[in-house]
Every structure is written in structure tokens, then in C-alpha cells.
């Protein structure tokens, strides 16, 4: 039995650039930044002064307040993005289709805000005042669980927790579910709400965050003066669908998912493997899985975090995999505009990659002003570029040595 084809038929997003995909994508194409002053917590206490915060979002536009109070903010983002994606796909489940529709949404951290709030309750008001919803609100799989409940989706319901690779791993794992025949539709992506006192303190302690206080230039992937990432929040959700199933109902197709690679560095808890060895293997695996030639890939949405080692080693990994073709393809980091959404990054970047293919446009890497001799590829600097290409790749790399790559084909 040959593998079944899998396509993207719906997209939804809540991001620092906008609370829907149209606003977000237009901002990306225009090179606009969603990064601003850090306001969710008292910035005076932290070296990091900027963040990529979601703005003017209300979960009550999607569900009732009573239900929303039982969920952490990362689940709010996931549910809103999923509702938008299902509406975009024009999908409504019945008793039969519900059994063949699953959910696979990743989160790197889960309900950190709820943990902090309930710890304050414990310390100030005592054990008996802890919310009965505390545990269901904090566990990273609850975004998947709540989306499954909301739509009545009864096929596999899972969650990949692989730090900053969570969204990409979730989409890749969901892709395989459909490919092997265990479901016809999967609601998949990533969600994160990590802009909290403890999270920012933790990332500050391991010196991962930028100390550049200028929101406009703080995130500068591949630039020689990069000094850390900008923490972000939101969700990116795609509707994956078996091709014949989508075709039979006349669905719009954004792109086809054809390859998935996932590897481990087995090297260090936070630092990437030297020369991006693990990332290179993930990219090679995705290329082999997609049965496509490396030189056919026209664009890569890079992990590109704006941290010194990540950008250098991802660049080296791309050269290892693509050889001379590495200098011919376009590779950009949309984190220069969105900041780093951690477990949600792979979700929104998969959407950006699919739209790049559909519209024939390469999003820019903003703030690329000072060349770095270690980063010498074509990063589509500072302005989006019209270009026709048939295949594109999206990379995500996470703490713990998690590497994930997806390959998309033009519909």
C-alpha cells in the first residue's frame, strides 16, 4: 500500500503580528515587526526589555467566558487558531467524520502563567484555595484536549513536547497519522504563552534572551550583532487532510506536505550540536522521506533564532545538506518579525512556508545589516522577494537536542 498524500486545507493563527492569518501574513510580507516593549510583566526587573506579545486578543470572541476560565492562555490561543483554521477549511464534523478527525498540537512549556498564579494562591491563601482546574490547565497536552472536545474530534489526540521544535514535530507526526491511514483530517500545530515572570527569569538566567532594548532591531537573525532571541507568544494551526478526501469536497489546497525528518543531537541540554550535525540529519531525512532532490528546494524558513550558535550552526547544516545549492536557494527567518514563539514557532512558520509556496514569495529576514562571515547564505535581507519555487522547507530546533524539518510542495 502506497503512502496517502496529505495537504493543507485550512490555516489559523494568533501572533504578535495579528490575531488572524491575513493580518499576520500581510505584515510578514511588508517586513513589519510585532515586537514591542515588555508589558506583561515588570520589565524593570529584567535585563530583557522587549517581547513579541499578542495584542488586543479576547478568547470570548470564540468561546464563553465560563469555559475560558478553565483554560490557560496558551490553550486560548490554540483554540482560537483552531476555530479559524476549521472555518477556513470549511470543515464541520458529523458522527462519521469525527471518528476520522484527530488533533495533534504541541507546546513547549504549557500553562506557565497558571503555575505562577496558583503558586501565589498557595503561598498567600493556602492549599484549599487552589483551583480544581489547576492540573488540567497547566499540562501541555490540554490545548489538544480542549480542541478535540470543542470539535468532537475522536481520532488520535496527542501532543509533541519538544521545546522549540514542538509545533513542527506535531505537524510532522500528524502528517504521518494521515499518511499511514489512521485519520483523514488532523488539526495540528503549536501554541505557547511563555511571557511570564518565571519563564523570562529562566531564559534570562541562561542568557538566551536579547538585551537589545530597541524593539525594531532586537531580533536580528544571521546578523553579526545578534545577541539572543525575543520571547514571543501565540499559536499557529493547520488543517491537514488526505488529498482524495479534500478533493472530494472541493477544498482549497494551500500546499502539500511531502516530507518529515526528526532527529536528536545527543549532545547538550541547550546548545546545538557542533556544525549543526543533528539539524543536517533532520533535513536529509525530510528530503529522503519526501523523495525529492535537495536541489529542488527553493526556499527554507529557517529556525533562525537570532542567537549566536543557532544561526551559525543552522547555516553550516544547510551547507552540509545542500552543498553548492545552499548558495542558490533563499533562506529567511520570520522570527525577525514575530520573535520566537517557542513551541508555537513551528506552527506559524509552517503556515508561512505554505503561503510562500502558494503566492510565490519569500518572506524577508529583517534587521540584517552587518554581515557575519560565518553566515554567508542568501537570507532574503530586509525585503520580501517574488520568486517561483516548487518545494520549500521549514526547520525547528529545540533545547534537548530536538531537530525537526518539514518539506512542502506547491499545490
Three-class DSSP category at 283: helix
Cell numbers for 161: 513536547
Distance CA 250, CA 253 (A): 9
The 8-class DSSP code of residue 272 comes to: P
With 0-12 / 13-18 / 19 or more C-beta atoms within 10 angstroms meaning exposed / middle / buried, residue 250 is exposed
Q: Clarify whether 164 is annotated catalytic.
A: yes
Q: Give the contacts of 11 (CB within 8 A, at least 6 positions apart).
A: 21, 84, 85, 88, 236, 237, 238, 239, 254, 351, 354, 355
DSSP 253: -
Nearest to 35 by CA among 45, 27, 25: 27
Q: Which of 164, 237, 280, 292 is catalytic?
A: 164
CA-closest candidate to residue 135, choices 70, 80, 84: 70
Give the 3-state secondary structure of residue 187: strand
Can you tell me whether residue 205 is helix, strand or coil? Answer: helix
The Cα 342–Cα 168 span in angstroms is 11
CB 394 within 8 A of CB 408: yes
- C-beta separation of 272 from 309 below 8 A: yes
Residue identified by cell 521544535 is 165
**Can you list the alpha helix ranges (DSSP code H) found in 262-344?**
277-289, 308-322, 335-338
Residue of 406, 355, 410, 347 whose CA lies nearest to 23: 355
Tell me the chain's radius of gyration from C-alpha atoms.
20
Instruction: Kindly list the distances between the CA atom of residue 250 and the CA atoms of 91, 183, 354, in Å, as whole numbers in the listed order.
Output: 11, 19, 19
Annotated catalytic sites, by residue?
A: 164
Amino acid at each position: 500500500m502506497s503512502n496517502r498524500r496529505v495537504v493543507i486545507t485550512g490555516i489559523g493563527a494568533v501572533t504578535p503580528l495579528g490575531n488572524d492569518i491575513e493580518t499576520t501574513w500581510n505584515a510578514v510580507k511588508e517586513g513589519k515587526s510585532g515586537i514591542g516593549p515588555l508589558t506583561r510583566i515588570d520589565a524593570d526587573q529584567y535585563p530583557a526589555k522587549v517581547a513579541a506579545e499578542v495584542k488586543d486578543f479576547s478568547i470570548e470572541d470564540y468561546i464563553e467566558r465560563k469555559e475560558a476560565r478553565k483554560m490557560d492562555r496558551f490553550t486560548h490561543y490554540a483554540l482560537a487558531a483552531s476555530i479559524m483554521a476549521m472555518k477556513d477549511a470549511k470543515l464541520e464534523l458529523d458522527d462519521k467524520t469525527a471518528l476520522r478527525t484527530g488533533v495533534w498540537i504541541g507546546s513547549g512549556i504549557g500553562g506557565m502563567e497558571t503555575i505562577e498564579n496558583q503558586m501565589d494562591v498557595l503561598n498567600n491563601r493556602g492549599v484549599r484555595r487552589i483551583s480544581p482546574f489547576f492540573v488540567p490547565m497547566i499540562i501541555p497536552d490540554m490545548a489538544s484536549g480542549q480542541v478535540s472536545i470543542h470539535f468532537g474530534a475522536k481520532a488520535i489526540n496527542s501532543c509533541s513536547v519538544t521545546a522549540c521544535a514542538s509545533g513542527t514535530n506535531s505537524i510532522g507526526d500528524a502528517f504521518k497519522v494521515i499518511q499511514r491511514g489512521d485519520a483523514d483530517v488532523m488539526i495540528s500545530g503549536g501554541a505557547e504563552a511563555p511571557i511570564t515572570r518565571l519563564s523570562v527569569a529562566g531564559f534570562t538566567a541562561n542568557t538566551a534572551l536579547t538585551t537589545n532594548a530597541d524593539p525594531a532591531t532586537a531580533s536580528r537573525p544571521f546578523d553579526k550583532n545578534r545577541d539572543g532571541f525575543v520571547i514571543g507568544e501565540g499559536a499557529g494551526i493547520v488543517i491537514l487532510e488526505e488529498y482524495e478526501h479534500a478533493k472530494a469536497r472541493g477544498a482549497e489546497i494551500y500546499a502539500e506536505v511531502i516530507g518529515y525528518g526528526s532527529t536528536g543531537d545527543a549532545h547538550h541540554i541547550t546548545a546545538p550540536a557542533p556544525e549543526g550535525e543533528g539539524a543536517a540529519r533532520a533535513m536529509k531525512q525530510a528530503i529522503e522521506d519526501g523523495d525529492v532532490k535537495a536541489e529542488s528546494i527553493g526556499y527554507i524558513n529557517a529556525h533562525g533564532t537570532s542567537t549566536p550558535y543557532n544561526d551559525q550552526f543552522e547555516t553550516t547544516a544547510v551547507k552540509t545538506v545542500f552543498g553548492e545549492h545552499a548558495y542558490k536557494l533563499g533562506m529567511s527567518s520570520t522570527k525577525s518579525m514575530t520573535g520566537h514563539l517557542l513551541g508555537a514557532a513551528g506552527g506559524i512558520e509552517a503556515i508561512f512556508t505554505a503561503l510562500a509556496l502558494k503566492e510565490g514569495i519569500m518572506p524577508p529576514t529583517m534587521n540584517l545589516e552587518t554581515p557575519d562571515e560565518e553566515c554567508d547564505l542568501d537570507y532574503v535581507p530586509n525585503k520580501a522577494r517574488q520568486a517561483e519555487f516548487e518545494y520549500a522547507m521549514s526547520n525547528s530546533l529545540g533545547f534537548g537536542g530536538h531537530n525537526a524539518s518539514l518539506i512542502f510542495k506547491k499545490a
